[in-house]
Structure 1
């Protein structure tokens, strides 16, 4: 007896013959995503997360840079390294110097940067020239800047020759404890203010000009427009610059290293937290103690950032 296959049966048989894909489209998309992320994830684990965990373990051990054994097999000292940090007089001096430096540099940086940003944002001629002129020092390497200021502040340098006109006796600014840190402050402000100026400039350009025009029609002075319009609307920019500036100043290393030739002198007057960390780790080889210093610095930076964030949030809420 003959059987006739209906079109439906033929269709079903064809569908059954089509092999199922081993990897579905959704799985393939996930796999592609992981493959794209993999280079970053691997580099982060190898160069950031791994060393971070290793340094944290190391901070609880007594380990030297030239020790033959692995740091995992080094002698454990518990919290002794951290206790030693808080009892270390040189670290205390470095902490004082760093905070003094930060308290001087941060306000000067932000105020000067904001003023310069307002100047280059105003209706003046040759705006592009002034923007480039103010920003160029930021592109100069810290080594070059330090060498320039060593030349300016030396005994027979430009500054002393200028002060000599007014009868002021010459002095070697970087070798006197009273003036060494102040000279580094001036150097840091000059070399970094351009970067913060550019960030402030971007914030100023986001403010609608109609607000200023309306305030001017209402009879508001330039000072009133600045405090009532400009400052409130660039608060996020101020917060960003403040956090970056504080973190940058508390991590200051290169200028102090070059000016003091790595010793933080004279009389530890230019010793900073990071310079002390470097000396302990790579000059004296105390990797365990240096790791403890690193995590104390991290805790200080993290705490200050959280405090700044909360203060700005409270001001915005009010």
Structure 2
């Protein structure tokens, strides 16, 4: 390599240096440190100290009932929320992509929940679900007795699901809407000539061409649902209650890290969660394939 190419390479890396420093400091370094912590017993009080304990933190997960409860709740949440928010996003995008009068106003109205703080949305839904809240008032009109929606372990997580489907579907709707507008009208015109009706065109043209976008939406949806924390924290006041029904993996990590000060075990749980998300993403990639939208 001659001197000119060396100067060009050095200049290129110099321009990249700020980005590399930011990525290294705020992304790579925390990952490496979390891996380091997961193999240690960390003592925070009286001075930070580390004691290497091999795979004990990972072995401990198998006997921790709350880990299995959190995993079950998180998987249940993901399995229900992701398909619902994806289907709703496609439906809303298809409606807005049609020649609907006032569709620009509808786009703004549909997108409002996405730009609203999740903490504010949670407080609003808690007011709706509380015993003397809006939902029970509406049910009272039909003579139905008030129900403790937030205090019933069978219902509490469903309330968070409903809130998240309502608040996240508009974000994915915008992504689907952009993809729908890239589909050539000639495909639909050819299908109409062949006698295809609206539903047939949707199943045979729209959905297949949206497959790469759907892979992205489902992947981002699963990552988001596995990282559920703030809504579950606010709903349960940080406890994961009632009866651990709203306990998620990230909330459990928070409890071990900042309430029990068990940083090593919390780091091991975080590594386990990252591995689960990666595994699910790889499985999705195998299901959706490598197709690209042309």
The alpha carbon displacement at 1:169 in A equals: 1.0
1:156 matches 2:132: yes
SS of equivalent to 1:177: coil
TM-score by length of 1: 0.89
Show the counterpart of 1:55: 34
Does structure 2 retain, via aligned residues, the 8 Å contact 1:252–1:274? yes
- Regions of 4+ moved over 4 Å: none
Distance (Å, rounded) in 2 between the aligned partners of 1:213 and 1:159:
46
Show the counterpart of 2:267: 291
Distance (Å, rounded) in 2 between the aligned partners of 1:81 and 1:67:
22
Distance (Å, rounded) in 2 between the aligned partners of 1:65 and 1:281:
11
Distance (Å, rounded) in 1 between the aligned partners of 2:46 and 2:269:
20
Offset from partner CA, 1:27-86 (integer Å, 9 cap, x none): 33222211110011111111221121111011011113435134xxx2111111001112
TM-score by length of 2: 0.96
The alpha carbon displacement at 1:26 in A equals: 2.8
Structure 1 unpaired stretches of 5+: 1-22
- With over 3 angstroms needed to count, the CA separation of the structure-2 counterparts of 1:297 and 1:25, relative to structure 1, is same
1:92 matches 2:71: no
Show the counterpart of 2:167: 191
- With over 3 angstroms needed to count, the CA separation of the structure-2 counterparts of 1:238 and 1:67, relative to structure 1, is farther
Distance (Å, rounded) in 1 between the aligned partners of 2:172 and 2:62:
34
Instruction: Report which of the two structures shows the higher radius of gyration computed on alpha carbons.
Output: 1
The partner residue of 1:207 within 183, 194, 200 is: 183
- With over 3 angstroms needed to count, the CA separation of the structure-2 counterparts of 1:314 and 1:202, relative to structure 1, is closer
TM-align CA RMSD: 1.5
Does structure 1 retain, via aligned residues, the 8 Å contact 2:77–2:161? yes
Show the counterpart of 1:300: 276
SS of equivalent to 1:63: strand
Distance (Å, rounded) in 2 between the aligned partners of 1:64 and 1:105:
38
Show the counterpart of 2:14: 35
Offset from partner CA, 1:142-163 (integer Å, 9 cap, x none): 1100011011111111110001
Distance (Å, rounded) in 2 between the aligned partners of 1:134 and 1:191:
9
Show the counterpart of 2:246: 270
The alpha carbon displacement at 1:314 in A equals: 8.0
SS of equivalent to 1:178: coil
Does structure 2 retain, via aligned residues, the 8 Å contact 1:59–1:81? yes
Distance (Å, rounded) in 1 between the aligned partners of 2:97 and 2:65:
47
1:177 matches 2:153: yes
The partner residue of 1:248 within 224, 227, 235 is: 224
Number of positions where the alignment pairs a residue of Structure 1 with one of Structure 2: 291
Does structure 1 retain, via aligned residues, the 8 Å contact 2:212–2:291? no
Distance (Å, rounded) in 2 between the aligned partners of 1:51 and 1:224:
50
Distance (Å, rounded) in 2 between the aligned partners of 1:315 and 1:209:
20
Distance (Å, rounded) in 2 between the aligned partners of 1:225 and 1:199:
20
Distance (Å, rounded) in 2 between the aligned partners of 1:56 and 1:168:
52
